[in-house]
Structure 1
Amino acid sequence: MNHLAFFTTGDGCRIAYRFDGPADKPVLVLSNSIGTTLNMWDMQIEALSQHFRVLRYDTRGHGGSSVTAGAYSFDRLGRDVIELLDALNISRAHFCGLSLGGMIGQWLGIYAPERIDHLILCNTSSFMGPAEQWDERIASVLQAKDMSETAEMFLSYWFPPHMLQAQSAIVDSIRAVLLSMDPQGFAGCYAAVRDMDMRRTVALIPRPTLVIAGQYDTVTLPSHSEWIAAHVPGAKLVILPAVHLSNIEYPAEFLSAMLECLLSPSKD
């Protein structure tokens, strides 16, 4: 199956997903950052699908998935993944998430570790306070006449100046996704980040964990990744010379770190 399919969660949200790779390989779930779609992983798919049945999905509020009203939570975003796995009869999978996806990955590692084999947490954080800044962002994105200001803000946070100035096709494609986003999708996910604090509970993650950080990331600082790696038992930390979307800026190095983690034996 190499096209979008859909399933509906218990609260009525339609989630878009797709598979790449042979059906007899171990499943690897990829979870996107805020403001992107499952296509943010395109540069890794050819190589990953040689080893895994890759399952990508659009986080609720993004891409082909429904935009549900109100504040989202990581309990809900994490349950979306569990319900997707249940619907597809997948009892256990590897999981890799970047930024918002990495926050979902932390929730899964804490609250549903029996469903996770290896866990990869990329350019992410366990806490991004204070809450007031997220309330301001929620109000701003909902009140804006369009997504242009939000799009340019995110691009400036996500990529180094040379990529922004080079009229990169990759940057242009991500800009197009940002411009097409429903503001409520942003607002709902902003609320989830606002209300998140997993700084203590990440220590409960029992799964083999790789943390990938961007040396020049100003969104989820390297110190945030260092915190996670220091508190998840046995976690390994890799720091790439990247800004925020490290899988796009340094695809080969990112892939190498992923495969080294995912192809190593798990604890059980």
Structure 2
Amino acid sequence: MGDVMMVPVNGADLAVRIDGDAGKPWMVLSNSLACTLESWRFQMELLTRTHRVLRYDTRAHGASSAPAGPYTMDTFVIDLVGLMDHFSIGRADLLGLSLGGMAAIGLAIRHPERVGRLMAAAARTDTNAAFLENWDVRCAAVRAAGGMSGVADFTLARWFTPAFHAAHPEVVQEAREMILGCDVDGYLACADALRGLDYKRQLGSIGCPALFMAGREDGGASPDEIRSMAALTPGARFGVIEAAHIVTMENPAAFNALVASFLAEAQAA
């Protein structure tokens, strides 16, 4: 695997890892809120067969810095553009999970010329009362505890099914360490940015091949919600994975199969 490098982008220093052979088309991976670039480790063998893969820790996550907020959804899109510009990536296939999927969708809307194919998992594109209340609860728990420990158990319960918790405690522990490694103020700034999520009404403008994926047991980005997004996006494909929210870690075999099928069939616009 490639070495981690620090890249200055949009006022932040982002931890970046690049894998795969030079000369292959680029793919950029963007992680979920409270995850790190290691949340993609189960996908790297597959993706590097066909792509040179750039993955990074979102600002305030992992080894990346946490500039003072406020952040907006555009902050994450600008970070993506800055990373691509730094490495002279004119256009890439994008794969994002949750917050990272939202950022990828935002890039496809704001800068369509930069996106070849779009893949987003567990990423809704608008807010509702339950979504906003969920983030109120999480942020209040973090503030009350004075740290990420206040939200770790709550988050893990939503990230993985009970069966997965029982069968794979080592992966759940790995995820816990990602959560606890987040910068507290940066996490809160990321969560506040989600309140401005408003991409759903713009999905019809996406012109590249797109795949939207949902975890069957995901309470926040339900299959019905993700299916509705696919219906609004011209020609988009939709798939369901037997998992909760962090589908890349809970059911990598099914996730990878969906991605591989899409990449094999969908031609870049």
Tell me the TM-score normalised to structure 1 length.
0.94
| 3-state secondary structure, aligned to 1:263 | helix
Aligned to 2:178: 177
* Amino acid aligned to 1:148: S
Aligned to 1:8: 8
Taking the aligned partners of 2:164 and 2:17, their CA distance within structure 1 comes to 29
Extract unaligned runs of 5+ from structure 2.
Answer: none
Bigger shift: residues 255-264 or 116-125? 255-264
**Does residue 65 of the first structure (1) align with residue 84 of the second (2)?**
no
* Amino acid aligned to 1:173: E
| 3-state secondary structure, aligned to 1:118 | strand
Taking the aligned partners of 2:203 and 2:151, their CA distance within structure 1 comes to 30
* Amino acid aligned to 1:245: I
Aligned to 1:41: 40
* Amino acid aligned to 1:3: D
Residue 16 of structure 1 and its aligned partner are, at CA, apart by 0.9
Q: Percent identity?
A: 37
**Does residue 20 of the first structure (1) align with residue 19 of the second (2)?**
yes
**Does residue 192 of the first structure (1) align with residue 197 of the second (2)?**
no
**Does residue 114 of the first structure (1) align with residue 106 of the second (2)?**
no
How many residue pairs get aligned? The number is: 267
Extract unaligned runs of 5+ from structure 1.
Answer: none
Bigger shift: residues 91-100 or 197-206? 197-206
Taking the aligned partners of 1:149 and 1:141, their CA distance within structure 2 comes to 5
Spell out structure 1 runs of 4+ moving beyond 4 A. none
Residue 252 of structure 1 and its aligned partner are, at CA, apart by 1.2
Taking the aligned partners of 1:167 and 1:262, their CA distance within structure 2 comes to 29
Residue 186 of structure 1 and its aligned partner are, at CA, apart by 1.5
Decide whether the 8 Å contact of 2:117 with 2:268 is kept in 1.
no
Change (3 A) 1:126 1:27: same
Taking the aligned partners of 1:267 and 1:159, their CA distance within structure 2 comes to 32
Aligned to 2:253: 252
Decide whether the 8 Å contact of 2:122 with 2:214 is kept in 1.
yes
Residue 255 of structure 1 and its aligned partner are, at CA, apart by 0.8
Taking the aligned partners of 2:69 and 2:134, their CA distance within structure 1 comes to 18
Taking the aligned partners of 1:40 and 1:180, their CA distance within structure 2 comes to 13
RMSD: 1.6
Taking the aligned partners of 1:253 and 1:181, their CA distance within structure 2 comes to 28
Map Cα deviations across residues 80-108 of structure 1 (whole Å, 9 max, x no partner): 00010001011000000011111101101
Residue 32 of structure 1 and its aligned partner are, at CA, apart by 0.4
